[in-house]
Amino acid sequence: MKNLICVSAPSGSGKTTLIKAVRKARPELRWSVSYTTRDPRPNEFNGEDYYFISRDKFISLKDDKKFAEYENVHGQYYGTIKSKLDGAINNKKIVLLELDVNGTMSVRKLYPSHSYSIFIVPPSIEHLRKRLQNRGSETNEIIEKRLERFNKEMEYKDQFDTLLINDNIQVAINDFIKTINEITKGVN
């Protein structure tokens, strides 16, 4: 049963917007709340969007092998607790995971028969630059770091089960929901 749905995309590609739309359309799906060492953005809440923890706490969890996957992204750690995924598998629950490409590859390696991967792509790097600038939450230096990572992340796109292009948000939302519905067909 493919009940761990991993969603990855270059930063600013719209994955959070798409995931929020799926969560609204399919509220019975579980949401994997990742741990991170970064500060919350406006309108993000601890325990709902992420678990915002100290770097020391994160390192302690990592050293204790509590993470199914973790990554240092732009100087901040992100990770998914293994016990939450194991519980979902054991209870036959479907979980959405928002991960970077390395995180998705780690989950697929750890749970090959339970994971399904979706990669979301912006129409171009210039579209991505504009989206990141319009966010208004990052400096130009951070935006450039994110854009540098774009090409590295794009190298993974062919390793995903499904590729979605987000050049029109409403079309992308509809395609994303349709994909999730197909993956979860016949699953409670």
Give the CATH number of the domain where residue 147 resides.
Answer: 3.40.50.300
Asked if residue 125 has pLDDT above 90, the reply is no
Q: Which of 179, 188, 186 lies closest to 5, judged by CA?
A: 179
User: Does residue 124 lie in a domain region?
Assistant: yes
34-92: pLDDT as tens digits: 999 999 988 899 999 899 999 999 999 999 999 999 999 778 999 999 999 999 999 99
User: Does residue 29 lie in a domain region?
Assistant: yes
Question: Tokens 């504009």 map to which residue?
Answer: 130
User: Does residue 73 lie in a domain region?
Assistant: yes
User: Does residue 158 lie in a domain region?
Assistant: yes
The pTM score is 0.85
User: Does residue 172 lie in a domain region?
Assistant: yes
- Residues 7 and 175 sit within 8 Å (Cβ to Cβ): no
User: Does residue 23 lie in a domain region?
Assistant: yes
The domain tally of the chain equals: 1
Q: How far apart are CA 155 and CA 101, in angstroms?
A: 10
Range of the domain at 151: 4-183
